[in-house]
């Protein structure tokens, strides 16, 4: 029963997070994505990559962005998200 609830919770979180993926139409040239959206899109990059295979409008990177600040947030989140995994891995002795 715990496994079923865990799976339900995981699916619910994934569905809720897909509403904030790059390319969803939220950001426009008049209202571009900024630094904080860059961080969010960087964290969601793996999910965006997979969902982008099935949905043409979903992208890994938001095209309508503020430029350098968006890039900084995006890459900081990607590096900290994936590079941080090495800190929790068990090291062989």
Give the start-to-end residue ranges of the domains of the chain: 27-93
What does the alpha-carbon distance between residue 52 and residue 55 come to, in Å, rounded to a whole number? 5
According to DSSP, residue 55 is labeled: -
Which two three-digit tokens encode residue 39? Answer: 């961080």
Q: Indicate the pTM of the whole model.
A: 0.70
| Whether pLDDT at 19 is above 80 | no
| Whether pLDDT at 71 is above 80 | yes
| Whether pLDDT at 1 is above 70 | yes
| Whether pLDDT at 52 is above 80 | yes
Torsion of CA 12, 78, 36, 70, to 10 degrees: -130
Buried b (16+ CB within 10 A) or exposed e, 6-16: eeeeeeeeeee
In this structure, the chain runs to a length of 93
């Amino acid at each position: 029963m715990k496994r079923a609830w865990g799976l339900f919770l995981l699916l619910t979180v994934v569905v809720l997070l897909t509403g904030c993926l790059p390319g969803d139409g939220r950001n426009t040239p008049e209202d571009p994505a900024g630094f904080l959206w860059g961080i969010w899109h960087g964290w969601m990059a793996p999910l965006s990559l997979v969902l982008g295979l099935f949905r043409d409008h979903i992208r890994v990177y938001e095209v309508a962005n503020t430029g350098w600040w968006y890039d900084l947030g995006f890459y900081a989140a990607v590096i900290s998200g994936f590079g941080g995994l090495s800190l929790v891995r068990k090291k062989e002795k």
